[in-house]
Structure 1
Amino acid sequence: MTKAFSNGKYAIVGAGLMGRLLAVALAKRGAQVELFEKGGSDAANAAARIAAAMLAPLAESAITEDNVVRMGVHSLPRWKQLIDELAKPVYFQQDGTLILWHRQDASDAERFASHLERNCDRNQALSKPIHLDSQSLAEIEPGVADRFTQGLYLPNEGQLDNRQLLEALLVEFTLMKVPCHWNQSIDPEQLRNSEHGFDWVIDCRGLGAKDSWKQLGDTSKDLRGVRGEVIRLYAPEVKLRRPTRLIHPRYPIYIAPKEDDVYVVGATEIESEDLSPMSVRSAMELLSAVYTVHSGFAEARILEMATQCRPTLKDNLPEIFVDQKSNQADLMMINGLYRHGFMISPAILDCALEVLSSGSSSTAIELGLEVTGSTHQELSACA
C-alpha cells in the first residue's frame, strides 16, 4: 500500500480527528500532503476536543448498530499501534469499563446486562460482561465499594486522552514537514482544479461540510449536529481506575479518568446545533450524578464546562463518499462519525486508505461501513 501513495499529492480539508489521522497516515506512506483548516492548530473548535475518547464497543452496543460495534472492535488494537508510532506520548488505557447502578435501578441494569450478553452471542469478538458482587467490585474498583454492592465489568475496553492525541498528531506534521494552512477556510471543490495539482481532495470538515453533503441530493445524506456537553474536573480525592458508567433512567453518565486526577464527565445528547454554554440543568444533573458515584467529587474543582456538536447523518452511521470526474482531482468525503468518533476512527482510516489505494475496500465490506461513489463500479460494490 505504501508504494501506491508514494507519488500521490493529497489535500485534506479539516484538521479534526479524521483529518489529522489521515494526514499523518498518508505522509508516513510517502505521499505529499497539505492540510487546510479554518481554525487554528489547537483544534479549539473541533468536536474531537470536547470528548471523553472512550473505546467501548461492548458498552456502546446497547445503543448503536452492529456495524459500528464491529468498527469499534477493529479499532481497539489499531489505536495501540497508531499511538505507538507517534513521537509524543499519548495516554492510552485498556483496563475495561465498569458499569454501576443504584438499587432502585436494578431492573434497568438487568435489562442492560441481558442486552450486552445477547450482543456477545452475535459477535464472538466481544468479551462477555462479568457480573461483580460486593467483594469482586471492591477488588476491581475499591473507590466505589462503599456506595455500590454490585456491578458489571466489561473487559478489554479502553480510552485515550483526546487532547494529547490531537497535540501528538500536530507534532507529527512538523516532523514530517506537512504544510498546514491554519485559519484558512476553503471549499474543497476549489482545490480540485487542475492548477493545484492534487490527485485527491479529502473533505474531513465535520459539520462544516453540511452544504456539500446536502448538494448530493439525497436527504439521507443530510448532516445535522447533535449537541453534547461535558465537564472536566480535577478530583485528587477520587481514584477511579477505569471509565465508569452509571445506569440511571433520567441521567445516565460516564466518568472517564485521565492522567493527573482529571476526570471527564458527560452524558447529554441533544438534537440541536446550539453551541451556547452548558445549561444550569445539565450541569446540576451531571454533577449530582457524579457525586452519587464517589463522595470525593464534592471537593472536585471544575476545570471546564464545554459543549460541542457531533456531525451526524440521518441514520447515525458513518459514511465515505467518493466523487471522481475527469480533469479534476478525485474527491473523498468522510463524515457522520456521530458520538463514536474515537471509538471507530481507526476503522474509518483503514477503509479510506484502501479506497484511496485501490478504489475499493474489503475492510469496509467486512465491517459494514458504507462507501458510495459516483462513477467507479468498484465503489458501488462497497456500498
Structure 2
Amino acid sequence: MQSLELHSANASRPDVAILGGGLSGRLVAWQLVRAGLRVALYERGGADGSAAAGWVAAAMLAPLAEAAVAEPSIVAMGAAGLEQWPFLLEGLPDPVFFQRNGTLVVWHQPDRSEAVMFDRRMRANAPPELLRGGVERLSGQQLGNVEPALAGRFQEGWLLPNEGQLDNRQLLKSLGAGLQKAGAELHWHTAIDEGNVPDAGLVIDCRGLGARPVMPSLRGVRGEVVRIHAPGIGLRRPVRLLHPRYPIYIAPKENDLYVIGATELESEDMSPMTVRSALELLSAAFSLHPAFGEARILELNVNCRPALPDHLPRVQWDGKRTLRVNGLYRHGYLLAPAVTGEACALAQALLGGATAGRTLDWDTWRAGRPWPDLFRQTEA
C-alpha cells in the first residue's frame, strides 16, 4: 500500500489556490474558507459568474428524474447533494432562491411509451430508499390539484415530491460576494494556464474545459436554454415534458421567470442557438400551456459542459500538490455539493497531514470515502 507525502506550506502563501471560479471553484473555495483555510481564487471571468458554464443552466436538483438517464452513482451523489444544499447556502450574504417543491413529470398521450421507458429506467437506477415516498402517480384530476396551472391539460403524470431547484445566477453572485466578505484572495479576470500556476500549499484545478491541456479526454457537451418572462401562468415547480425527440424541462424561478431547456447536444459548438432549437423548446413550452405563447423571450443561451468519456465526475490527485475537479457534465448543480465536498475532504486530509508531518495513505483514505470511484491518482 503506497503512502504519499505533501510538503507543508509556508506562512507567506495561501493554503489553497483554486483555478477556475465557476460553480465548482466557488463551492470549493466557500467550503474551505468556512473551514478556516486561506484561499486564493483565480477566475478568467468576473465576480457575477457570467463566464461560467453554470451561468447557462436551470439548476434543477432532481436525482430521481435524472435516474432515467444517469448511472446509479450519479443518482446517489445527487440525492446526497440535495440534502447538502441548505447548509451550503447558509451564511451567504445575499438570498438565493431555493425550492424543494418536487418535480412534475407529464406527457401528451401519443407519447405515453416515453413515460413507460422513463419509469422503467428511473426504477432501475434509483436506490429503493429514494423511491420510497419519492414517486406519486397522479390522475388528471390529481395533477390539476397539485399544479393548478396544468388542470385539464394532461390525463396523468407523476409527482416526485422530494426534489428541488435553485437560482443558479443568484448562487454564483452570492458565492462571489460571500468569498469576498470572508476574506478570500480573489483574482477576477485572471486566466491561469499551465505555465503560471500560482504558489500555494495545494492547487485545486476547477477550470472545466480550460483544463483540457492536462485532461485531454475532456470534451464539451452543448447545452441550450431559453429564459422567458411569463406572468400569470404560476407553475409551482419544475416540469419535465416527455417527448421522443426533445424531452424538455421548464423550471419556474422567482418573479415569473422561466428557464426552458432540453438535455444536451453532442457538440462543442458555442455559436448562438439555431432557429430549430429555439422553435422546439418554445413549441414544447407552448404545448405544455398555451399562455407561454404570450411570454417575452429574455435570452437564448448556449454553453458547453465539461464531460469525461464515462460521463462521470472525477477528483484527481497527482500525488503531490495538485487536485483536479472536473467532469460534472450536465449534472453540475445536482452533483456539485457531493463532488466538491469530497474534493475539500481530500484537500484537508492532505494539508492536515502535511502540517503534522504525516504522509497520506491514499488507498486506505480513498476506500473509506462514500464514493471511492470518484477519485483517481495520477502522476504529476
- The residue number in structure 2 matching 1:371 is 375
CA contact (8 A) 1:351 1:363 kept: no
Following superposition of structure 1 onto structure 2, how do residues 293-372 of structure 1 map, counting pairs within 5 Å? 293-325=288-320, 330-359=321-350, 365-367=369-371, 369-372=373-376
Following superposition of structure 1 onto structure 2, how do residues 62-81 of structure 1 map, counting pairs within 5 Å? 62-81=68-87
Gaps of 5+ in 2: 1-7, 351-361
- The residue number in structure 2 matching 1:201 is 203
Separation in structure 2 between the aligned mates of residue 9 and residue 348 of structure 1, nearest angstrom: 20
Can you list the C-alpha shifts for 1:1-50, whole angstroms capped at 9, x where unaligned? xxx99x86110010000100111111111111111112222222211000
Separation in structure 2 between the aligned mates of residue 61 and residue 355 of structure 1, nearest angstrom: 27
- The residue number in structure 2 matching 1:33 is 39
| Cα gap change, 1:338 to 1:364, in 2 (>3 Å) | farther
Gaps of 5+ in 1: 215-221, 377-383
1:118, distance to aligned residue in structure 2 (A)? 3.7
1:181, distance to aligned residue in structure 2 (A)? 1.2
One-letter amino acid matched to 1:92: F
One-letter amino acid matched to 1:141: E
Which is further off, 300-309 or 124-133?
A: 124-133
- The residue number in structure 1 matching 2:5 is none
Separation in structure 1 between the aligned mates of residue 287 and residue 193 of structure 2, nearest angstrom: 48
Structure 1 runs of 4+ off > 6 angstroms? none
The alignment-based identity, stated in percent, is: 47
1:115, distance to aligned residue in structure 2 (A)? 2.8
Structure with higher RCO (Cα < 8 A, 6+ apart): 2
Separation in structure 1 between the aligned mates of residue 343 and residue 194 of structure 2, nearest angstrom: 17
One-letter amino acid matched to 2:322: L
> Which of 157, 161, 164 does residue 158 from structure 1 map onto?
164
1:139, distance to aligned residue in structure 2 (A)? 0.8
One-letter amino acid matched to 2:79: V
| Cα gap change, 1:39 to 1:158, in 2 (>3 Å) | same
Following superposition of structure 1 onto structure 2, how do residues 116-265 of structure 1 map, counting pairs within 5 Å? 116-120=122-126, 122-127=127-132, 128-187=134-193, 190-191=196-197, 196=199, 198-214=200-216, 222-265=217-260
CA contact (8 A) 1:188 1:202 kept: no
Separation in structure 1 between the aligned mates of residue 277 and residue 299 of structure 2, nearest angstrom: 14
SS of residue paired to 2:96: coil
- The residue number in structure 2 matching 1:292 is 287
1:112, distance to aligned residue in structure 2 (A)? 1.6
Q: C-alpha root-mean-square deviation of aligned residues, in Å?
A: 2.1
Separation in structure 2 between the aligned mates of residue 249 and residue 368 of structure 1, nearest angstrom: 35
Give TM-score scaled by structure 1 length. 0.89
